[in-house]
Amino acid sequence: MDDLISTIRIVPSFESATRSVCSTCPVGSVDRRVLVGDIAEYSFLLRVGAGEHDLIRLHRVVREQAPFVPRRTSRALLLAHGDAFNFDAAFLTSLTSPTVDDAHALPIFLAQRGIDVWGIDFRWTLVPAGTTDLSFLANWGIETDARDLGLALAVARATRALTGDGFGKIHLLGWSRGGQISYAYLNGESQLPPALRQVRGFIPTDIYLKSDVPSVRAAACLRLGLSLGRVAAGEVADLTGSLLATISGLAQSSPAAPSPIIPGLNNRQVALLTGEATFSFFPPGGEIVPFYHFTGGTFDANGLPSGLVYSDESLLLGLLAGSAPFQPLRELVDGDAAVCESSPDFTVPNVAFDDHLGEITVPILYVGAGGGFGDFGVYTTTLLGSRCWLTAHHNDRPSCHEWRPAEPGGAPHRHLGDRPLRTRGTQAADSEQRGGGRGHGAETIEPFGLDDAAFLACDAAR
Count of other CB atoms within 10 angstroms of residue 2: 10
In this prediction, residue 261 carries a pLDDT of: 97
pLDDT mean over 277-286: 94
Looking from the CA of 426 toward its CB, the CA atoms found within 13 Å total 28
d(CA 375, CA 400): 7
254-264 confidence digits (pLDDT tens): 999 999 999 99
- Kindly tell me if the per-residue pLDDT of 396 is higher than 60: no
Quote the distance between the C-alpha of residue 233 and its chain's center.
29
d(CA 375, CA 261): 33
pLDDT mean over 135-155: 98
| Angular region, 435: left φ>0, alpha ψ -120 to 50, beta rest | left
d(CA 127, CA 149): 18
Q: How confident is the model at residue 12 (pLDDT cuts 50, 70, 90)?
A: low
Identify the structural domains of the chain with CATH numbers, from first to last: 2-209+358-460 (3.40.50.1820), 240-324 (no CATH)
d(CA 185, CA 175): 14
pLDDT mean over 414-428: 37
d(CA 14, CA 417): 39
d(CA 104, CA 96): 12
Contacting residues for 347 by C-beta, under 8 A, at least 6 apart:
none
Q: How confident is the model at residue 451 (pLDDT cuts 50, 70, 90)?
A: very low
Contact 173, 87 (CB under 8 A): no
Q: What letter would DSSP give residue 135? A: G
Alpha helix locations (H) across 208-287?
214-232, 240-253, 267-276
Q: How confident is the model at residue 439 (pLDDT cuts 50, 70, 90)?
A: low
Backbone angles phi, psi at 141, to 5 degrees: -140, -160
Choice between 309 and 357, residue whose per-residue pLDDT is larger: 357
d(CA 249, CA 380): 37
40-78 confidence digits (pLDDT tens): 999 999 999 999 999 999 999 999 999 989 999 999 999
- Kindly tell me if the per-residue pLDDT of 421 is higher than 60: no
pLDDT mean over 306-316: 91
The percentage of the chain sitting over the pLDDT mark of 70, rounded to a whole number, equals 82
pLDDT mean over 159-164: 93
Report the candidate in 122, 155, 153 with the shortest Cα–Cα distance to residue 14: 155
- Kindly tell me if the per-residue pLDDT of 404 is higher than 50: no
pLDDT mean over 376-400: 72
In this prediction, residue 11 carries a pLDDT of: 60
Amino acid identity at 86: N
Q: Are strands 305-308 and 297-299 parallel, antiparallel or unpaired?
A: antiparallel
- Whole-model pTM: value is 0.88
| Angular region, 319: left φ>0, alpha ψ -120 to 50, beta rest | alpha
Choice between 386 and 327, residue whose per-residue pLDDT is larger: 327
Amino acid identity at 227: S
Q: How confident is the model at residue 6 (pLDDT cuts 50, 70, 90)?
A: very low
Q: Crossing angle, helix 214-232 and helix 329-340, to 10 degrees?
A: 150
Q: How confident is the model at residue 98 (pLDDT cuts 50, 70, 90)?
A: confident
Report the candidate in 122, 130, 153, 142 with the shortest Cα–Cα distance to residue 54: 122
Average pLDDT, whole number, for the chain?
A: 85
In this prediction, residue 13 carries a pLDDT of: 81
Contact 93, 290 (CB under 8 A): no
